[in-house]
């Protein structure tokens, strides 16, 4: 949209790509190209170049899709347009669910992760997905926590919970900016949406809540600068009902 300029994107500044920047993870590129089923969104074309004015002249900067900052800006632009078109919470939930299944089929599908037959092996699938995200640069580290009690509870009663930790998430900048504008339900973390889609394929219903974390101690609350995400999943076998 014409009103969206790099200088107005408060959490980071778009800069020309450098070789020292982290490679863009493929899930982000897949999301930018993913069809949503909404023609007003799918018809949008994303720019290949950005015109910038400096010192009285104009300059075109090529938008390198291998640059994390530029991709975050493009995601922010796309999500902002989607926010304006999907006004109800129900529409947004369905959209993010479709994003999860889309990325599960396109990105995760290439990892050859088997769908669980339901039981304890779904955890292998979840950890394999997280490993794939880490390998592709989407996060620097991850951890799945499920206590022995929670594991036994799922085995015996078909319902439980577990927690995921992901550090240095590639889409943190765009997610934080959107969250700051009260668009939490469309924040493009993607991890929870992909895992939720995988669990559903395994016959497990789930809901989740995402929390941003800053692992460094900050005496000044205004210095809060989250780099990681904690995702609390509640799960239940679909066959329970």
Domain range holding 91? 6-240
- pLDDT value for 19: 38
- The structural domain count of the chain equals 1
Q: Is the pLDDT of residue 42 over 90?
A: no
Top pLDDT among 98 and 3 is at 98
**184 closest CA partner among 85, 92, 73:** 92
Taking phi first (over 0 means left), then psi (-120 to 50 degrees means alpha), and beta for anything else, what does residue 49 get? Answer: beta
Three-class SS of the chain? CCCCCHHHCCCCCCCCCCCCCCCCCHHHHHHHHCCCCCHHHHCCCCCCEEEEEECCEEEEEECCCCCHHHHHHHHHHHHHHHHHHCCCHHHHHHHHHHHHHHHHHHCHHHHCCCCCCCCCCHHHHHHHHHHHHHHCCCCCEEEEECCHHHHHHHHHHCEEEEEEEEECCCCHHHHHHHHHCCCHHHCCCCHHHHHHHHHHHCCEEEEEEEEEECCCCCCCHHHCCCCEEEEEEEEEEHHHC
Question: pTM of the prediction?
Answer: 0.77
| 63: in domain | yes
- pLDDT value for 204: 93
Question: The CATH number of the domain where 52 resides is what?
Answer: 3.30.1380.20
Chain segment 188-216, per-residue pLDDT in tens:
888 999 999 999 999 999 999 988 887 76
Q: Do 95 and 82 contact (CB within 8 A), yes or no?
A: yes
- pLDDT value for 183: 82
| 90: in domain | yes
Chain segment 49-96, per-residue pLDDT in tens:
555 555 555 555 556 656 778 778 888 888 888 888 888 888 888 888
| 17: in domain | yes
| 1: in domain | no
Q: Strand pairing of 159-167 and 204-213?
A: unpaired
| 134: in domain | yes
Mean pLDDT of 229-240: 90
pLDDT category at 105 given cuts 50, 70, 90 is confident
| 195: in domain | yes
Tokens of 221: 């609350």
Chain segment 148-185, per-residue pLDDT in tens:
999 999 989 999 999 999 998 888 888 888 888 888 88
Return d(Cα 66, Cα 205) in angstroms, integer. 35
Top pLDDT among 43 and 130 is at 130
Mean pLDDT of 8-37: 48
| 174: in domain | yes
pLDDT category at 121 given cuts 50, 70, 90 is confident
Q: Do 54 and 97 contact (CB within 8 A), yes or no?
A: no
Q: Is the pLDDT of residue 4 over 50?
A: no
- pLDDT value for 25: 45
């Amino acid at each position: 949209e014409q009103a969206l300029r790099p200088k107005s994107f408060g959490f980071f500044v778009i800069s020309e790509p450098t070789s020292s920047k982290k490679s863009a993870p493929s899930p982000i590129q897949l999301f930018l190209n993913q069809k949503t089923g909404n023609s007003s969104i799918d018809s949008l074309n994303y720019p290949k170049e950005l015109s910038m004015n400096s010192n009285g002249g104009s300059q075109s900067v090529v938008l390198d899709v291998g640059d994390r900052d530029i991709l975050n800006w493009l995601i922010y632009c796309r999500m902002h347009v989607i926010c304006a078109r999907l006004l109800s919470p129900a529409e947004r939930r369905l959209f993010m669910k479709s994003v999860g299944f889309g990325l599960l089929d396109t990105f995760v599908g290439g990892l050859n992760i088997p769908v669980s037959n339901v039981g304890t092996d779904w955890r292998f699938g979840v950890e394999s997905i997280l490993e794939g995200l880490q390998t592709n640069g989407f996060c620097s580290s991850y951890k799945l926590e499920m206590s022995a009690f929670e594991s036994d509870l799922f085995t015996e009663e078909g319902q439980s919970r577990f927690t995921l930790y992901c550090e240095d998430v590639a889409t943190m900048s765009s997610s934080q900016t959107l969250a700051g504008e009260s668009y939490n339900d469309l924040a493009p973390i993607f991890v929870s949406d992909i895992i939720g889609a995988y669990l559903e394929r395994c016959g497990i219903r789930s809901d989740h809540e995402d929390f941003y974390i800053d692992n460094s101690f900050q005496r000044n609350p205004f210095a809060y600068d989250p780099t990681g995400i904690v995702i609390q999943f509640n799960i239940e076998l679909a066959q329970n009902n």
